[in-house]
Chains A and B, each alone.
Chain A
Amino acid sequence: MTPLASYLLVSGLLFSIGLAGALTRRNAILVLVGIELMLNAANLNFIAFWRYGPNPEALTGIMFAIFAIGVAAAEAAVGLALIISIYRHYKTTNLDQIDSMRG
C-alpha cells in the first residue's frame, strides 16, 4: 500500500468513527465532538493529498487546511453557545428530550 493510500485509509476510518458518534450519541456535546472529528479527517485528507500530490510547492492543501481549521473553530464556538442556550431552556442536553421547537 502506498503512503497516500494508508493516510487516506486512516482518515476514512476517523471520518466513520466521527459519523457513528454523531449519529448514535445522545448528548448534544458529543454529537459536536463527532462533527469535529469528521472535519479533522477532511483536514488530514487535504494535507495528505498536498504532500503526495504533483505540485506541493503551490501550498493549496496547506491553505485549505488553515481555512478549514478557522471555520471549524467558529463552528465549535457557535455550536457550544447553542447547546448552552438550549440547556438553559430545557435543563438537559439529551437530544431525545429536546423535541419541540417552541419553548
Chain B
Amino acid sequence: MTLPFFILSVLTIAGATAALTLRNLVHCVLALMLAFVGLAGLYLQLDAQFIGFAQILVYIGAVAILIVFAILLTRGAESPSQSIVSPSWPISSVVSVVVFGILAWTIRSSVATRHPIPPQPEVSVRQIGDALMSRFALPLEVIGLLLTAALVGAVTIAMQEKREIK
C-alpha cells in the first residue's frame, strides 16, 4: 500500500459516503464528483491512463452535469423537510454491511490475489484504437447503436406530453 493509493482511496470513499448521506442534493453531486476524481486517480495509479481521462470526461463532464440538471429540473435543490432515508433503512444497512463482509472475507481468503506482480504494462492510446477497430469492432458498433437508441429514448421519454386533440 503506497501513500498515493491510500490518499486516493480515502478521497473516493469519503466522496461516495458524503454523496449518499448529505441532505442537500447539489452538495451530494459535488461530493460525487470528488469520488469520481478519486477513482480517476486510482485508474492512473493502475497505469490505465486512457480509462482515467475517459472517467474524467464522461463522469465529471457529462454524468454529473446531467444529474445537476435533473436535480434543478425537479426542484430538488432545496433541502427536504422530512427524513431523507426510507423507513426500511435498518434492514438495507444490514444488507449492505453483510455484502461488504462477504466481499472482504472472499478477497482475503482468495488465492487469485497472491500472484506475483507483473511488470508495468505499456499501453498506448494507439494500441487501444487498433484493438477497437480490429478485434473489438463488433462490440464498438453495438455500443454505438445502444448510445443512439438511449439518446432517442431519453429525448422521447422526457419530451413534454402532448394534450390529445380530438
Cβ of A101 under 8 Å from chain B = no
Cα distance, A13 to B10, chains bound together (Å): 11
Q: What residues of chain A lie closer than 8 Å to B157, measured between beta carbons? A: 78, 81-82, 84-85
Q: What residues of chain B lie closer than 8 Å to A76, measured between beta carbons? A: 63, 66-67
B143 with A19: CB separation less than 8 A: no
Chain A at the B interface: mostly helix, strand, loop or mixed? Answer: helix
Q: B interface, how many residues as a size bin? A: 35 or more
**Quick one: CB contact mask for B110-152 with A, threshold 8 Å, 1 for yes?**
1011110110010100011001100010010001001101110
Question: How many residue pairs, one in A and one in B, have C-beta atoms under 8 Å apart?
Answer: 235
A9 with B143: CB separation less than 8 A: no
Q: What residues of chain A lie closer than 8 Å to B69, measured between beta carbons? A: 80
Q: What residues of chain A lie closer than 8 Å to B20, measured between beta carbons? A: 17-18, 20-21, 24-25, 30, 33-34, 37
The number of residues on chain A lying at the interface, defined by a beta carbon within 8 Å of a beta carbon of chain B, is 73
Cα distance, A76 to B158, chains bound together (Å): 13
Cβ distance A18 to chain B, nearest Cβ, rounded Å: 7
Cβ-defined partner of B48 (8 Å) among A2, A24, A57, A65: A65
Cα distance, A12 to B151, chains bound together (Å): 31
A: which residues have CB within 8 A of B? 1-10, 12-21, 23-27, 29-30, 32-34, 36-37, 40, 43-44, 47-48, 50-54, 56-57, 59, 61-63, 65-67, 69-78, 80-85, 87-88, 93-96
- With A16-B96, A44-B39 known, 13 other A-B pairs at CB within 8 A are A4-B115, A10-B13, A16-B103, A29-B25, A29-B67, A30-B19, A36-B59, A40-B59, A51-B46, A51-B118, A52-B113, A63-B136, A70-B147
